[in-house]
A and B are shown apart, each in its own frame.
Chain A
Amino acid sequence: MKQFTKLAFAGVLAALTAGAAQAQELYTPNLAYRTGPFAATGIPLMNGQSDYMAMLNARDGGIGGVMVNAEECETGYSTEKGVECYEKTKGKAIVTQPWSTGITLQVLPKTNVDMIPILASGYGFSPMMDGKVFQWAYNTPAGYWDAADMIIQYLEGMESLDGKTIAFLHLDHPFGKEPLPVLEALAEEKGFTLNPIPVGLKEMQNQSAQWLQIRRMRPDYVVMWGWGAMNAGAITEAVKTKFPMENMLGVWWSGHDADLAIVGEAGKGYKSISWSFPNLDAPVMADIKKHVIDAGLSKTDETEMKGVFYSRGIIISAILAEGIRVAQAEYDVAEINAEQLRWGLENINMTEARIEELGLTGMVPPFATSCSNHTGHSGGWMLEWDGEKFVKVSEHLTANVAAYTELAQQNAKDYADANAPWPMAEGCEG
């Protein structure tokens, strides 16, 4: 009993001191997934995110003089744990980063009521780009529909797609189905045949049936919307069936170095669109090395740091930090709240000059958000696996957003109608 009282006392004391310590901080929790089936991709992303914030804390003493508390809550990519984490952190959080389509779908309507912005960089529901309807959700700097459009644009840049066949190998899950409306519209417009080939969640690692189908179909290109174990499965199958690698392209979540390192040289030519690039010479990398890695504050290792996903984590944190700075300048307070950050996130203007200034040279294309544009449509680059690492093989591509703006608005409206009463952003023009 005495032991227990002691323990309880220690607990109370810890809670009290924690309460005192949180007086001045920006609490930006991250619903991380360092465990579970997708941990291989989660670890570099989370490391990139937390290392950038740790660097800001060490180098500048946080943002605007306030330390950032980028605490992680582990979900293991499970929706149930994700909701648990969301509930646990939402009290004092100024942002929530759900990190899975399932969690995003569930958290999306709740954030409207709880008034917390969601930062879902490059994932989630594509119609979230309509900021008038989804006033609390951000998939900055680019959405899945942008990715689909850019991939087709890149292919068209090489040859006309009229009469060609494209196999669309995708995860049979909300995430994989996401780009279909845009791809179907593009197929009609450009005259190519789109053959969707779904991969069930259970068959992710064994895609022999799908690749048999691809072999029979003889498509000109394979566009892949894969995630986690599905990517490695598809890439090894493609190598096994001797599919020409240069005709295989993936979305940004299908461009993980570790997946391609398995096949190495044989994977040469595989491409993936990306809105982030690992520029190891960027000043920010040197700062992270100096203030975080050498100080022993990081969990990352050397090879992982060179990868695409680690640098993507850095970019996501940089976007968040920029949103915080914009909000701090506007409201003239250092310790901003969730509502102020919402304004900040929709008034980001990442110009080329600003990117230089932040030390992110060549790591992300310039973009700007507004109250009606929550995606930013940064565009991206086509990256190619050269046998050892990903290299840029294209100029800066930008998506033809006007082509599907109407579709996005319609889908956003349908979503709002199905979830009525749904609050719209008032006074948001253009």
Chain B
Amino acid sequence: MLYRTAGQYKTSYEADQALFPVRQDAVLLGIILLFVWVIFPLTASEFTFQTLLIPILIYSLAALGLNILTGYAGQLSLGTAAFMGVGAYACYKMITLMPWMNPIVAILLSGFFSAGVGVMFGIPSLRIKGFYLAIATLAAQFFLVWLFEKWAWLYNYNASGAIQVPNLDIFGLYVSGPQADSIVQYYVVLFIVSLLTWLCINLTRGNLGRTWKATRDMDIAAELIGINLMRSKLTAFAISSYVVGVAGALFVFMWRGAAEPNLFDIPLSFRILFIAIIGGLGSIMGNYLGAILIVGLPVVLNLLPETLGIPISSSMVEHLNIMIVGSLIVFFLIVEPHGLAQLWRLLREKLILWPFPY
């Protein structure tokens, strides 16, 4: 009923190939955008901004970057966190060397450094693939974290070895550092995440996206029909690392405020990989659904006993939390191994046919 497509005629190829061939999808997106751009920021508390809205957006972006590489181009990577670190450290160095720089520009530029590093570690992908490539990217993970620890220039020779985000302003309005308001940080993150998401949607639908998918599905066949595999793989590495690097810069500058090298270690890589897999590989929307599940759910579960007035100790809540989130992940993967995005896709198809399925 709600998703009836009858009466929506397409009279040109362009209309058929549009981003939202079904009108209801566009309406739904409009509602979501209204919520994230207007309603959430107006109603959210400081706590909601800091523990739900901002981290979910940043994790979604990081997963989006990984998804381009793994979900679209089929190159398995375990080094996501290290590339995030490259973005964060690059941003830190740029800001401290050139304090007059606009922070948003610095964040967007920092992605280029991680793109460069990403391509360097992507070169082995021309010879090896699958698990072997995953191990090569794992080397990136170890090497880069080690570098963040040892190369004192990167953290300006701080005694503690950690980087601290200074107070940064755009035209007198603090956007980063402890003086910044959460709502300002949220809008900066939302702006950058929306921009990159829009870019990635169009990239994956275009020529480049199709070469990636061909490489992913069968590289030999792709090569036979004239796709330059080297170009396809390296662009995937570059764009993926760019997005991941920007996510890393946002992670430290718009949310955490400080970071030690150890932050960019394997657990973070795995976390982002889980978001991408649970959300759905090869789907843009899946990253958002995955991040909501992996980042948002534990926070909500943590608050639940308190709001319901159930008196249990906070360590008990934490243990329960780990068990619940863990079993939910297993449950979702059994019900829908292709991720939450696929679950939504099926639901949507059923809705289009409803109430007369065949």
Are A and B physically bound partners?
Answer: yes
Which of B61-69, B74-82, B158-166, B196-204 makes up part of the contact surface?
A: B158-166
- Most chain A Cβ neighbours within 10 Å, of B50, B258, B317: B258
Question: B309, A201: Cβ atoms under 8 Å?
Answer: no
| Contact residues in B for A83 (Cβ distance below 8 Å) | 50-51, 256
| Contact residues in A for B319 (Cβ distance below 8 Å) | 35
Nearest CB to that of B317 among chain A residues?
Answer: A74
Which of A102-110, A338-346, A380-388 makes up part of the contact surface?
A: A102-110
Which residues of B in the span 291-338 have a Cβ within 8 Å of any Cβ on A? 299, 302-303, 307-309, 313-315, 317-319
| Contact residues in B for A106 (Cβ distance below 8 Å) | 256-258
Question: B315, A11: Cβ atoms under 8 Å?
Answer: no
Knowing A32-B315, A173-B260, the reply to whether A11 touches B51 (Cβ < 8 A) is no
Q: How far is the CB of A69 from chain B (nearest CB, A)?
A: 13
Which of A152-160, A177-185, A254-262, A271-279 makes up part of the contact surface?
A: A177-185
Q: What would 24 A/B residue contacts be, using CB atoms closer than 8 Å? A: A7-B308, A11-B307, A15-B307, A18-B309, A35-B318, A71-B314, A72-B315, A73-B314, A79-B263, A88-B51, A102-B162, A105-B160, A106-B258, A109-B178, A109-B258, A113-B179, A172-B149, A173-B260, A174-B160, A174-B161, A419-B167, A419-B178, A421-B167, A421-B179
Nearest CB to that of B257 among chain A residues?
Answer: A106
Question: A419, B308: Cβ atoms under 8 Å?
Answer: no
A418 located at the interface, meaning its Cβ lies under 8 Å from any Cβ of chain B in the complex? yes
| Contact residues in B for A87 (Cβ distance below 8 Å) | 46-47, 50-51
B177 located at the interface, meaning its Cβ lies under 8 Å from any Cβ of chain A in the complex? yes
Residues of A whose CB lies within 8 Å of any CB of B are 7, 10-11, 13-15, 17-18, 32, 34-35, 71-74, 76, 79-80, 83-84, 87-88, 101-102, 105-106, 109-110, 112-113, 125, 172-174, 177-178, 180-181, 201, 299, 411, 415, 418-421
Question: B315, A34: Cβ atoms under 8 Å?
Answer: yes
Q: How far is the CB of A173 from chain B (nearest CB, A)?
A: 7
Nearest CB to that of A42 among chain B residues?
Answer: B315
Count class of interface residues, chain B: 35 or more
Contact with A along B105-131 (1 / 0, CB 8 A): 000000000000000000000000000
Knowing A72-B313, A87-B46, A420-B167, the reply to whether A177 touches B51 (Cβ < 8 A) is no
Among candidates A10, A34, A76, residue contacting B308 with C-beta atoms closer than 8 Å: A10
| CB-CB nearest 4 A-B residue pairs | A14-B309, A109-B178, A34-B315, A174-B160
| C-alpha spacing A102/B308, complex, angstroms | 31
Q: Chain A binding site: helix, strand, loop or mixed by DSSP?
A: helix
| C-alpha spacing A79/B162, complex, angstroms | 13
| Contact residues in A for B167 (Cβ distance below 8 Å) | 419-421
Question: B309, A105: Cβ atoms under 8 Å?
Answer: no
Among candidates A74, A299, A419, residue contacting B318 with C-beta atoms closer than 8 Å: A74
| C-alpha spacing A181/B260, complex, angstroms | 19
Q: How far is the CB of B319 from chain A (nearest CB, A)?
A: 6
| Contact residues in B for A17 (Cβ distance below 8 Å) | 309
Nearest CB to that of B46 among chain A residues?
Answer: A87
Q: How far is the CB of B342 from chain A (nearest CB, A)?
A: 28
